[in-house]
């Protein structure tokens, strides 16, 4: 019983601020809906209730909604892990978007090449292609960080833009389909992930269900996970203890790239089944918000990813029933992130004490970024 008390306090400390941020974001969204309602159909103080009810029903009110929620959440959770594990090592991986795109295009290249092969061969090899594509895009900033001191925030942002144009070149040129009306690949056949739930519930969601506990074990039960967390807390102490911070940095960024690349592969192989030259997605950036809401913990990232997936799944019904545009979901997500970033202000306003477990992942990364950039 004595061990349960501290554990519950730890859970409370970790979950309290994200919960408050979500509630404040919902309150902000409600005020925004009420103030803007006269521009649409007249003043309606009940519009927030109608909108949020439709959002919940669209996400959880039917089997189709539940499946859409889980499918939408799956790549976001992987992207969140790609950012959250980096946080544990003191790294701010802004490059999940580029890693996602490179994993997507690499898996597409493999899948298109194996279109005439058996699915039992094409599917795993296509997923491995996504892992390798993301790994390569994560290795570069990790190597530059470890051996040249180049800050990962700068290099990953630049690699995001490079990835966009690399994808555009590959899809518009060598990988463009033969009988298509716009720049995209042929349809993926053998490499498409099999459906196990409803219309869109592909097998990739089971893969995510295995990766989340594996990430928890890696961080909190393995030697390499202990080294990752030690390097993130104090690189000098880690070096004094015989660890190799440079190699840990490269390993962590490569692992993060693999997870984001797998998210891209899963999105293409499980839902889209082809890749356009201008692949528009915000999964990589959603991963940053999810990692912050989940406090960089795999279980927290899982629940935060499900929250974002539910918002995306219910947005359509919210627009149909309440007339609120689906862009409101993006507004809510951005406001949640804003309140998380303004942690000190939120704690003072709502009179919440500083967590007993020490500084948060966000403040750790922010401090590290400030020390290394001189800000």
Instruction: Output the CA–CA distances (angstroms, integers) from residue 345 to 119, 331, 363, in the order listed.
Output: 53, 20, 13
Q: Which residue has the higher pLDDT, 2 or 255?
A: 255
* Residue 14 and residue 343 in contact, taking contact as beta carbons nearer than 8 Å: no
For position 89, what pLDDT does the model report? 92
- Percent of the chain, pLDDT > 90? 54
> How far apart are the C-alpha atoms of 302 and 321, rounded to whole Å?
29
pLDDT 10s digits, 160-187? 999 999 999 999 988 888 888 888 888 8
Number of other residues whose CB lies within 10 A of the CB of residue 338: 14
Q: Which residue has the higher pLDDT, 85 or 365?
A: 85
For position 323, what pLDDT does the model report? 86
For position 348, what pLDDT does the model report? 67
For position 77, what pLDDT does the model report? 96
For position 199, what pLDDT does the model report? 73
Owner of token pair 């030690």: 230
Query: Of 61, 65, 36, which is closest to residue 48 (Cα–Cα)?
Result: 36
H helical segments located in the chain? 4-36, 47-60, 63-88, 96-113, 119-148, 152-172, 204-221, 223-233, 235-240, 245-267, 283-293, 298-322, 327-341, 343-349, 361-373
> How far apart are the C-alpha atoms of 72 and 66, rounded to whole Å?
10
Using the CB atoms, write b or e for 129-165: b if 16+ within 10 Å. bbbbbbbbbbbbbbbbbbeeeebbbebbebbbeebbe
Tokens of 343: 């942690």
pLDDT 10s digits, 284-337? 889 998 998 998 899 999 999 999 999 999 999 999 988 888 889 989 988 988
For position 241, what pLDDT does the model report? 86
SS3 89: coil
pLDDT 10s digits, 252-263? 999 999 999 999
For position 357, what pLDDT does the model report? 37
Query: Of 125, 369, 176, 142, which is closest to residue 278 (Cα–Cα)?
Result: 176
For position 298, what pLDDT does the model report? 94
Residue partners of 116: CB distance under 8 A and separation at least 6: 190
Query: How many residues in total does the chain contain?
Result: 375
- On the CB side of 69, how many CA atoms lie within 13 Å of its CA? 22
> How far apart are the C-alpha atoms of 258 and 116, rounded to whole Å?
26
The whole-model pTM stands at: 0.89
DSSP code for 192: S
Instruction: Output the CA–CA distances (angstroms, integers) from residue 288 to 21, 282, 291, in the order listed.
Output: 15, 10, 5
What backbone torsions phi and psi does residue 201 show, to the nearest 5 degrees?
-75, 85
Phi-psi region of 149 (alpha: psi -120 to 50; beta: other; left: phi over 0): left
> How far apart are the C-alpha atoms of 307 and 186, rounded to whole Å?
33
Q: Distance between alpha carbon 110 and the CA centroid of its chain, in Å?
A: 24
DSSP code for 62: S
pLDDT 10s digits, 329-367? 989 988 988 888 777 666 666 666 655 433 344 554 444
Question: Please, what is the average pLDDT of the chain?
Answer: 86
For position 368, what pLDDT does the model report? 44
For position 304, what pLDDT does the model report? 93
pLDDT 10s digits, 138-160? 999 999 999 998 999 999 999 99
Q: Across the chain, which distance is largest between two alpha carbons, in Å? A: 67
For position 183, what pLDDT does the model report? 87
For position 17, what pLDDT does the model report? 82
Q: Which range (27-31, 129-133, 348-352) has the least confidence? A: 348-352
> How far apart are the C-alpha atoms of 318 and 57, rounded to whole Å?
9
pLDDT classification of 7: cutoffs 50, 70, 90? low
Tokens of 124: 């795993």
């Amino acid at each position: 019983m004595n061990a349960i008390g501290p554990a519950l306090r730890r859970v409370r400390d970790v979950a309290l601020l994200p919960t408050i941020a979500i509630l404040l974001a919902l309150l902000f969204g409600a005020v925004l809906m009420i103030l803007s309602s006269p521009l649409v159909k007249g003043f309606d103080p009940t519009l927030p209730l109608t909108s949020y009810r439709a959002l919940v029903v669209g996400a959880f009110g039917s089997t189709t909604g539940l499946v859409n929620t889980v499918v939408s959440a799956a790549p976001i959770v992987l992207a969140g892990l790609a950012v959250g594990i980096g946080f544990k090592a003191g790294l701010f991986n802004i490059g999940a978007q580029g890693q996602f795109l490179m994993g997507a295009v690499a898996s597409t290249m493999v899948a298109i090449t194996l279109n005439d092969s058996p699915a039992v061969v094409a599917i795993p090899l296509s997923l491995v292609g996504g892992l390798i594509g993301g790994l390569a895009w994560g290795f570069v900033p990790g190597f530059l960080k470890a051996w040249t001191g180049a800050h990962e925030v700068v290099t990953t942002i630049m690699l995001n833009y490079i990835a966009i144009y690399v994808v555009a070149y590959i899809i518009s040129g060598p990988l463009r389909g033969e009988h298509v009306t716009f720049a995209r690949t042929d349809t993926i056949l053998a490499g498409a992930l099999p459906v196990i739930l409803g219309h869109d519930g592909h097998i990739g969601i089971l893969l995510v269900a295995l990766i989340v506990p594996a990430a928890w074990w890696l961080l909190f039960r393995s030697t390499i996970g202990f080294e990752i967390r030690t390097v993130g807390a104090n690189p000098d102490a880690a070096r004094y203890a015989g660890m190799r911070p440079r190699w840990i940095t490269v390993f962590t960024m490569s692992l993060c790239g693999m997870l984001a690349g797998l998210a891209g592969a899963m999105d293409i192989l499980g839902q889209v089944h082809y890749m356009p030259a201008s692949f528009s997605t915000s999964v990589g950036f959603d991963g940053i918000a999810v990692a912050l809401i989940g406090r960089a913990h795999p279980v927290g990232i899982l629940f935060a990813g499900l929250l974002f997936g539910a918002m995306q799944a219910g947005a359509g019904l919210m627009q149909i029933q309440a007339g609120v545009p689906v862009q409101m979901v993006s507004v809510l997500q951005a406001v949640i992130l804003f309140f998380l970033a303004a942690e000190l202000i939120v704690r003072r306003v709502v009179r919440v004490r500083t967590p007993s477990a020490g500084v948060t992942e966000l403040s750790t990364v922010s401090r590290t970024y400030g020390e290394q950039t001189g800000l």
